[in-house]
């Protein structure tokens, strides 16, 4: 009898251990991609305004020549979030993403205040948006040394702020540090989706095209 009890106890303990391990794994891999993507859309629109390349009524449709498929805040995220991050859309979309820390607010303000200086260079084609969402200098005619120096200074500040923003969002929401790359990718889609017509953007394949 004692042997049977010990065996039963061992089975129960083993089952409990498996359940605990599985629970821990689930917590570690959880990433609310859809909710982060919505936050990215909101922040990009807040600091830069809505790009003319994707009108309000046409969100979710392909932008001619962009090389990537823009997505609205609520459409087209289910497959992406489920396959890439392993989280059901209903769960991910309902997550509450914290973007209200003092550090995040400071970075957003910095990007917003810099936008009027950066956008004219995007309009001229002297600056483009890379596939990872950072700004890069591009060849452009009619720019003097003063303009080129200004571009490099602005891009250095802007890209530093963007990288810091992704890190702060990761920390504020207790995501694994490795999730910074996922947040960067989601923001990259929002920066490109929000780009105005005529801006240079880089496709996922590395091809530069005018949106």
Beta carbons of 75 and 89 less than 8 angstroms apart: no
Q: Which of 26-35, 56-65, 76-85 has the highest mean pLDDT?
A: 26-35
Burial environment of residue 22 by CB neighbours within 10 A (0 to 12, 13 to 18, 19 or more): exposed
pLDDT at res. 141: 84
pLDDT at res. 30: 78
pLDDT at res. 9: 52
- Beginning with the edge strand found earlier in the chain, give each strand of the sheet holding 135-137 in spatial order: 135-137, 127-129, 200-202, 208-210
Q: What distance in Å separates the CA atoms of residue 77 and residue 93, rounded to the nearest whole number?
A: 9
Q: What distance in Å separates the CA atoms of residue 8 and residue 191, rounded to the nearest whole number?
A: 57
Average pLDDT over residues 71-96: 43
Looking up tokens 């396959």, which residue turns up? 83
pLDDT at res. 66: 39
- Statement: residue 28 has pLDDT above 90: no
User: Which residues on neighbouring strands pair with residue 209, listed in sequence order?
Assistant: 201
Give how far Cα 84 sits from Cα of 69, 79, 94, 153, Å: 16, 8, 18, 35
3 state SS of 166: helix
Average pLDDT over residues 188-194: 96
User: Which residues on neighbouring strands pair with residue 127, listed in sequence order?
Assistant: 137
pLDDT at res. 142: 84
pLDDT at res. 44: 97
- Statement: residue 79 has pLDDT above 60: no
pLDDT at res. 26: 39
Residue ranges of alpha helices (H) inside 49-174 are: 78-85, 89-93, 102-124, 145-172
99: closest CA among 37, 191, 56?
A: 37
pLDDT at res. 90: 43
Q: What is the pLDDT of residues 114-132, one digit of tens each?
A: 999 999 999 999 999 999 9
Domain ranges of the chain: 1-30, 32-210
- Statement: residue 67 has pLDDT above 80: no
């Amino acid at each position: 009898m004692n042997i049977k009890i010990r065996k039963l106890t061992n089975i129960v303990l083993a089952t409990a251990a498996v359940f605990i391990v599985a629970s821990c794994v689930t917590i570690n891999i959880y990433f609310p991609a859809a909710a982060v993507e919505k936050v990215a859309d909101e922040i990009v629109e807040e600091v830069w305004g809505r790009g003319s390349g994707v009108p309000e009524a046409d969100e979710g449709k392909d932008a001619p020549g962009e090389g990537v498929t823009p997505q609205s805040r609520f459409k087209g995220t289910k497959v992406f979030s489920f396959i890439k991050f392993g989280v059901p859309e209903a769960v991910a979309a309902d997550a509450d993403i914290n973007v209200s820390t003092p550090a995040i607010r400071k970075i957003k303000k910095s990007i917003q205040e810099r936008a009027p200086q950066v956008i004219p260079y995007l309009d001229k084609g002297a600056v483009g948006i890379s596939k990872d969402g950072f700004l890069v200098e591009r060849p452009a005619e009619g720019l003097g040394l003063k303009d080129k120096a200004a571009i490099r200074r602005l891009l250095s500040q802007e890209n530093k702020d963007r990288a810091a923003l992704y890190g702060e969002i990761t920390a504020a929401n207790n995501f694994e540090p490795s999730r910074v790359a996922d947040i960067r990718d989601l923001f990259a889609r929002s920066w490109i989706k929000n780009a105005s017509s005529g801006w240079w953007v880089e496709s996922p394949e590395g091809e530069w095209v005018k949106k």
